[in-house]
Amino acid sequence: MWWKDSIVYRIDPRSFQDSDDDGMGDVKGITKRMDYIKHVGFNTILLSPMLQPGSVEHIKSTGTLAGFPTNLGSIQDIHNLIQNAHEHGLKILFSLVLSNTSIDHPWFEAAANDKNSEYSSFYLFSDEIPNNWINVSGKKAWSFEERRKQYYHHSYNYDSADLNWRNPELGLIMEEYLAYWLESGVDGFYLQDINTLIKDDALRDNPTNFGIIRRRYERQEHVFDRNRSETHLKLERLRNVVNRYDDRILIGRLQTPDAGEPELSASFLGIESEKMHLVVDRSITNTRFTANRIELSAKRLYEAIGSNRTPVWELIDGSRSRMLGRCGKVEALARLAALFQLTQRGMIILYYGQELGLPDSKLPLYKRLFRKKRAKQTLGPMIWSTGEGSGFSMAEPWIPFARGANRLSVENQLLEEGSILQLYRTLIKLRNRTPALQRGVCSFIQTSNPRLLAYTRETEEERYAVLLNFDERYQRLDVDGVEIRGTVIFSTLRGMASESKGVVLKELGSYEGVILRLGSETEE
């Protein structure tokens, strides 16, 4: 099954490549850069949410997609992208949010303008605010729609409205929508916030969470606005649609506390034919990037998923900060993150520009405040080359480039030996030819040094140790008092190492990570 060890490249079309010089990336731009994606070593493309739910009838009758920005391209551009990806030997996944739509969506517009509209039952409306629910921003989850003189529910900001998945007609439309894209050649879907589809039918108040919690959203126990048992039935129906097509997948991500809930996420996994093929948990995305925190999160994720199912490793998802920001702007630590991520069992998802070490962009105030212009600091344009427009666009980009654009460009890094892009390419090649790094068992090794992370990856045929120093100072290795003896095949400081068997590794350099091949001929 291709997805069990796939290396996925997550792209936001708006920021990847502008094909028509209007300052914003588009679908044609992704097609233009397909050779680069293949060159780095990715085998799957994941498009960040650009499509909103809609009816297949609308698509076929109008040739357009509901709520799809025209400056991103046409429906034909999307079909061309799918075909081009397959011609390059790449799989392509669509990220979808099926729990809500924009308030600019034709469905919501129709419901807002006419209480008798067929789309009124597609949303949750109420004459009064019916409960104490809050959205992810910690504000009231109900906003007033002036045209209807009613409140509508939104789990996120007021510019989106939650869909009423208790309406069976809506479920059928969603099933047809997935089938349309599967027929078009899409290899699967990354469904976001799948545990928020169904709300309590009586709209009861959420109980208070009396723990010491900083984030306001988590001061409620979200038992009535997410994780309803009926959600699983809806997801099983979506899985049944996907099962009608060969070799397609469903990936699910849950709305959970910042710390993640791997056990809850795992409950949405199927064994064979029901629920999700894969789930993404926020624990590994949001934990502090230190040796002990990463080890605890990784252990918990592996234990929750189990040995017979496949974990997903997504260190950044574009919601907060890029990898460099998460690593305190220490590039050497971002290199360590690359080594950690690409030596885990399962699917790997990298965020566009992660392979370049791009930092966050500094946004002007209006990009942070106004709904129509709102953006995130992680959405800085891809940096392709030096000079005007950085190879992205000849127009002013919709979001400023990250600082140091020329130094970090693809053009420069492909020429620079030892660049972080070259590091990613090397690690991906190494992973792809090493079964133990793809699907081998991962066992963490106890160390007495809190700055070190150590684990083995092994199959019946081969065994490797991965050692990472999370500190800027050299660290002596103390792994259960046992010498680490093997063949160093990779170092984040030196790249691919020469084959020198039987080396006893006594220390790691500043923020250094290494891979050692272990074997009977080198073990004591």
Q: How many of the other CB atoms lie within 10 Å of CB of 145?
A: 19
The yes-or-no verdict on residue 260 having pLDDT over 60 is: yes
Q: Is 313 or 271 the better-scoring residue by pLDDT?
A: 313
**Residue-level pLDDT at 460:** 93
Q: Is 122 or 388 the better-scoring residue by pLDDT?
A: 122
The yes-or-no verdict on residue 371 having pLDDT over 70 is: no
* Token pair of 457 as six digits: 């990856």
**Residue-level pLDDT at 520:** 52
253: nearest Cα among 302, 333, 197, 193 = 193
**Residue-level pLDDT at 325:** 82
CATH architecture of the domain 2-100+168-194+248-432 equals Alpha-Beta Barrel (3.20)
The residues pairing with 162 across neighbouring beta strands, listed in sequence order, are 100
User: What proportion of the chain, given as a percentage, has pLDDT over 70?
Assistant: 94
**Residue-level pLDDT at 163:** 98
The yes-or-no verdict on residue 259 having pLDDT over 80 is: no
* Token pair of 154 as six digits: 């939104």
Q: What is the mean pLDDT of the chain?
A: 91
Confidence of residue 455 (pLDDT cuts 50, 70, 90): very high
- Residue 296's identity, in one-letter code, is L
Which residue intervals of 393-490 are DSSP H helices? 405-408, 410-415, 420-432, 435-439
Confidence of residue 41 (pLDDT cuts 50, 70, 90): very high
3-state class (DSSP) for residue 443:
strand
Q: Is 497 or 195 the better-scoring residue by pLDDT?
A: 195
How long is the chain?
524
Q: How many of the other CB atoms lie within 10 Å of CB of 417?
A: 7
Homologous superfamily assigned to 106-161? Oligo-1,6-glucosidase; Domain 2 (3.90.400.10)
pTM over 0.85: yes
**Residue-level pLDDT at 500:** 57
Which range among 354-363, 454-463, 477-486 has the greatest average pLDDT? 454-463
**Residue-level pLDDT at 70:** 86
The phi and psi torsions of 153 (rounded to 5 degrees) equal -90, 140
Give the up-direction half-sphere exposure of residue 197: CA atoms within 13 A in the CB hemisphere: 27
Provide the residue ranges of all domains of the chain, joining segments of one domain with +.
Answer: 2-100+168-194+248-432, 106-161, 440-518
Confidence of residue 106 (pLDDT cuts 50, 70, 90): very high
Distance in angstroms (rounded) separating the CA atoms of residues 341 and 92: 21
3-state class (DSSP) for residue 514:
strand
The DSSP string of 8-67 is EEEE-GGGT--SSSSSS--HHHHHHTHHHHHHHT--EEEE-S------HHHHHHHSS-TT
* Token pair of 327 as six digits: 């690593």
The DSSP string of 140-171 is BSEEEETTTTEEEE-SS-TTEEEB-TT-HHHH
282: nearest Cα among 263, 298, 262, 267 = 262
CA 42 to chain centre: 15
* Token pair of 227 as six digits: 């994780």
Which of 243-247, 357-361, 402-406 has the least mean pLDDT?
402-406
**Residue-level pLDDT at 37:** 98
* Token pair of 288 as six digits: 């502090």
Instruction: Characterise 513 by phi-psi region: left (phi > 0), alpha (psi -120 to 50), beta (else).
Output: beta
Distance in angstroms (rounded) separating the CA atoms of residues 8 and 110: 37
Q: Is 179 or 504 the better-scoring residue by pLDDT?
A: 179
Confidence of residue 195 (pLDDT cuts 50, 70, 90): very high
- Output b/e per residue, 149-171; b: 16+ Cβ within 10 A: ebbbbbbbebebbbbbbbeeebb
Instruction: Answer yes or no: CATH 3.20.20.70 is held by domain 440-518.
Output: no
360: nearest Cα among 403, 313, 417 = 403
Angle at Cα 147 formed by Cα 369 and Cα 60, nearest 5°?
85
- Do domains 2-100+168-194+248-432 and 106-161 share one topology? The answer is no
Q: Angle at which helices 230-243 and 168-183 pack, to 10 degrees?
A: 30
* Token pair of 85 as six digits: 């990806």
The yes-or-no verdict on residue 214 having pLDDT over 50 is: yes
Average pLDDT, integer, range 92-103: 96
99: nearest Cα among 207, 195, 9 = 195
131: nearest Cα among 141, 146, 122 = 141
Confidence of residue 477 (pLDDT cuts 50, 70, 90): confident
